[in-house]
Amino acid sequence: MKLILLGPPGAGKGTQAVRIEENFGIIQLSTGDMLRSSVASGSELGKKVKSIMESGGLVPDGIMIDMIRDRISKNDCSAGFILDGFPRTTAQAEALDVMLMNFNKPLDAVIELKVIDDVLIKRIAGRFTCANCGEGYNKELKPLKKDGVCDKCGGLSFKFRKDDREDTVAARLKAYHDMTAPLIPYYSKKDVLFSVDGMKNIDEVSKDVNNILKRLT
């Protein structure tokens, strides 16, 4: 199955992608994670994109398109993939259409997670992840059961994203509304768009997403 998770920052794309990966055995491809590991490794690409990411802007289309083309041509994507964070512009969506046509891997569904900006800001402000296993938390919405200890793996250190600061979040939301939101009518016209109420709690959203995917399989 070839899926896209579409939605603003903080809508829950990463959380839902991990669950789809677990439930349906399809690999999650997060362009944000790929870029963050390039930045952490200090690679040439990482040096190029670091300041763009920290300011909340979008990395140039050419870089992103090459990155996804390389990644989806790998063997572990042959059974399908969930794109989390790509495409983010119409140019990326058009390039993806061509790639999928060339690989003969048509898109099965685009799942849009709908959440209003006020809620996104609150969610992003409180989020952090376990530095060991990557489990996501939120100070208010999904706190640790035991202070300072990861519920999932017992890890004791946690990470906050640099671009989750308030000023950067405003820029990221603007980039979403200006550049990414036009993909909703783009995929709706292609009859592959499913919209889910991302304001519900994580388990309810998962249930709605699973119901859509079960109908497709």
Selecting among 50, 142, 161, 165, the annotated active-site residue is: 161
Cα 119 from Cα 110, distance rounded (Å): 22
Does the active-site annotation cover 88?
yes
By the 8 A CB rule, do 35 and 53 touch?
yes
Name every residue whose Cβ is closer than 8 Å to that of residue 102 and which is 6 or more positions away in sequence: none
Does the active-site annotation cover 69?
no
Least Å distance between CB 46 and ligand AMP? 12
Q: Residue 79: count other Cβ atoms within 10 Å of its Cβ.
A: 12
* 147-176 residues near ligand AMP, rule: CB under 6 A: 163, 172
φ and ψ at 106, to 5 degrees?
-60, 150
φ and ψ at 85, to 5 degrees?
105, 0
Q: Exposed, middle or buried: residue 209 (CB in 10 Å: 0-12, 13-18, 19+)?
A: buried
Task: Give the residue closest to ligand AMP by C-beta.
Answer: 32
Cα 17 from Cα 63, distance rounded (Å): 23
Least Å distance between CB 34 and ligand AMP? 8
Does the active-site annotation cover 71?
no
Binding mask 91-130 for ligand AMP (x = CB under 6 A): -x--------------------------------------
Q: Spell out the alpha helix ranges (H) of the chain.
A: 13-24, 31-41, 44-55, 61-72, 90-102, 117-125, 166-175, 183-189, 202-216
HSE-CB at 97 with a 13 A cutoff on CA atoms is 11
Does the active-site annotation cover 172?
yes
Cα 95 from Cα 101, distance rounded (Å): 10
Q: Is 64 in the site for ligand AMP (CB under 6 A)?
A: yes
Q: Is 28 in the site for ligand AMP (CB under 6 A)?
A: no
Which one of 27-35, 102-110, 188-196, 200-208 is the stretch in contact with ligand AMP (CB under 6 A)?
27-35
Q: Is 8 in the site for ligand AMP (CB under 6 A)?
A: no
Does the active-site annotation cover 165?
no
Give the one residue of 86, 137, 187, 194 binding ligand AMP; rule: CB under 6 A: 86
Q: Is 59 in the site for ligand AMP (CB under 6 A)?
A: yes
Q: Is 53 in the site for ligand AMP (CB under 6 A)?
A: yes
Active site residues: 13, 88, 127, 161, 172
Which residues contact ligand AMP by CB under 6 A? 9, 31-32, 35, 52-53, 56-59, 64, 85-86, 88, 92, 163, 172
